[in-house]
Amino acid sequence: MENLALKASGITKYFHDPVKMQVLKEINMEVKKGEFVSIIGKSGCGKSTLLYILSTMDTDYEGTLEINNVLATGQSLNNLARIRNESIGFVFQFHYLLPDFSCLKNVMIPALRLGKLSYKEAEETAYEKLKMFGVEDQALKKAGKLSGGQQQRVAIARALVNNPAIIMGDEPTGNLDSKNTGIVFDLFKQLSKEYGQTLITVTHDEDFAKRSDRTIVMADGQIINKPM
């Protein structure tokens, strides 16, 4: 289907150390372009493991994964890196900013790595993303000097600098207070509704999940609800 951003079929995953253990069992899911999906479940249910497979960072699984109608399963590591750089932005629980770099340079890094923009173009694009999230006045400040909420907004700007089709979040509000959680949620909703970007987030925050377009519930390595 042309309007699918992601399709996972029969995703099965085993851990082998210290003993063989199945952690994902025949996961089937589809996410439409522009949809905001939250994956919830108790700790250890496999949701973060699933996200790392969906993001192409984990390739040791059974089943197939398609991103924007392109088969990711079986691709070379170089091709997967290209798919990630072009199509996927990441927002984690911890922002992973370089504390001694300016916010602007932190946001520029993925654009410079992708290599499609000149340095000046990457700088201008990064500034526009900071402006989108209301932290453009912090552009030249070292990232380590910002508040937690500001740092997470900079991290989201960084995730968007290459205009990825899909944004994946692993507990993106896990370290934030309720006020900043609300700000991040509103930013995600804006990205989905106004910019047509697809969001897939793993979260423990049920209120956050309920406000997204769709909630997928996991338990014991399986999807236990019936995603619509």
22 lies in some domain: no
18 lies in some domain: no
pTM: 0.85
> Per-residue pLDDT tens for 15-43?
988 888 999 999 999 999 999 999 998 88
pLDDT tens for the chain, 228 residues: list them.
568 999 999 999 999 888 889 999 999 999 999 999 999 988 888 898 999 999 998 999 999 999 988 899 999 998 998 888 888 888 877 778 899 999 999 999 988 988 888 999 999 999 998 998 888 998 999 999 998 888 888 988 898 888 888 999 888 877 778 887 888 888 888 888 888 889 999 988 888 888 899 999 999 999 987 544
Report the 10 Å Cβ neighbour count for 177.
Answer: 11
| DSSP-assigned states of every residue in 165-203 | SEEEEESTTTTS-HHHHHHHHHHHHHHHHHH--EEEEE-
198 lies in some domain: yes
Query: Structural domain of residue 43, as residue ranges?
Result: 33-48+74-223
**Structural domain count of the chain:** 1
1 lies in some domain: no
Q: In sequence order, what are the residues at sequence separation of 6 or more whose Cβ sits closer than 8 angstroms to the Cβ of residue 210?
A: none
228 lies in some domain: no
210 lies in some domain: yes
Q: How far is Cα 175 from Cα 204, in angstroms, rounded to an integer?
A: 12
142 lies in some domain: yes
119 lies in some domain: yes
CATH number at residue 172: 3.40.50.300
> Per-residue pLDDT tens for 55-64?
998 999 999 9
Per-residue pLDDT at 228:
42
